[in-house]
Amino acid sequence: MTLRPALLGVMAAALLALGSAGSASAAMPSKINGPHAKLPCSTCHLNEMKAPLKETCFGCHGSYAKVAERTAKMNPNPHMNHRGEQQCTNCHSLHAESRFECNDCHNFKINMK
């Protein structure tokens, strides 16, 4: 297995990005990606206009076990690994580009839609 040498730098940058996320979220998104396009905003945003928790996704997608089944042929399985049951939105964006966060540390040949 290969870890990127710049790992520590990447993690520091991620922390900085988290710190500034609040101010960046003022803009209203103009679209919702893929099969979710016609859903009312309130399907995912109950009280606040920010990334919904995984429990909201489970309402339609079942559980981590269920989504892991769908990607069982992928190696590694993005939904079953040493990172545990993290927030779906760590990788999936519903308004912008998705981002495969495993490659902060790894170099897997996996691209997201």
Q: Contacts from 66-70 at CB under 8 Å and sequence distance 24+?
A: none
Q: Does 68 bind ligand HEC (CB under 6 A)?
A: no
Given 61, 65, 69, 107, the residue binding ligand HEC (CB under 6 A): 61
- Cβ proximity of 10 and 104 under 8 Å: yes
Spell out the alpha helix ranges (H) of the chain.
7-24, 54-61, 64-70
Question: Are 91 and 112 in contact, with CB atoms under 8 Å apart?
Answer: yes
Spatial CA neighbour of 68 closest among 52, 56, 85: 85
Residues of this chain, 20-49, that bind ligand HEC according to CB under 6 A: 25, 28-29, 32-36, 39, 41, 43-45, 49
> Residue from 9, 16, 72, 86 that binds ligand HEC (CB under 6 A)?
86
> Using CB under 6 A as the criterion, which residues of the chain lie in contact with ligand HEC when the complex forms?
1, 3, 25, 28-29, 32-36, 39, 41, 43-45, 49-52, 54, 56-57, 59-61, 64, 67, 70-71, 76, 78-79, 81-83, 86, 88-96, 98, 100-102, 104-106, 110, 112-113
